[in-house]
Amino acid sequence: MDLQKLQELFGTEPARIYTFTASVPENSNPVAHITEAFAIAAGTNLINCIVTEVRGNWLVYTRETEVTSDTFMLVGELPLPEPEPEPEVPTEPNEETPNAS
């Protein structure tokens, strides 16, 4: 998953993104099923998260909750670090250039 694309989707507020690695049972609401699984993994139903499908992957976006579970794999944390500016390359003095006098 391209984290940069996910940051464009979810924004730059501090948050975690997990992918749901299990399958959703037929005839069940994927959002409800995955949210309930996430609540079980978190150990509480007092959670706030978004469940959304991006390019065929079910993702959980949460600003508050951290889980450790085989069913939810951490895709990454937002915001992404700012890219470091490239160091300036010192210019070599041109020996052919005559000195001003």
Partner 1 sequence: MLSTITNAQFKADIIGIIEGTITSTAQLSAGADTTNSSFTGSYPTGTYTKVNATTNTFSKVHGTDAAYTHYFRLTFDAGVGLDAKWTNFALAQGYTSGTDTLLNSSSLTCNVKPNTFIGSAAFPSGINIVLTPKNIWFSSLTSGATFGIFDLGANGVTATYADNMRMCIMNTTATSSNIVVPYVYSIDGPNSAYTSMTATVTTLGNPTLKTNTAGSALIIENPAFVQFSQQGNQVYGIANLLKIGTSLFAMDSIYNTAGVRRIVAPIDYAIVTE
Residues that bind partner 1 (CB under 8 A): 5, 8-11, 13, 31-32, 35-36, 39, 45-55, 61, 63-64
Shortest separation between residue 24's beta carbon and partner 1, angstroms: 14
- Closest approach of partner 1 to the CB of residue 21, in Å: 18
User: Which residue, 79 or 86, is less far from partner 1 as judged by CB?
Assistant: 79
- Torsion over CA: 89, 93, 97, 100 (sign): positive
Closest approach, Cβ 64 to partner 1, in A, equals 7
The three-state secondary structure class of 9 is helix
43/63 with CB nearer partner 1: 63
Helix (H/G/I), strand (E/B), else coil: 3: helix
Residue 64 CB partners (closer than 8 Å, separation 6+) = 47, 48
Q: Which is nearer to partner 1, 14 or 87 (CB)?
A: 14
DSSP for residue 81:
P
Q: Please identify, using beta-carbon distances, which residue of 9 and 80 lies nearer to partner 1.
A: 9
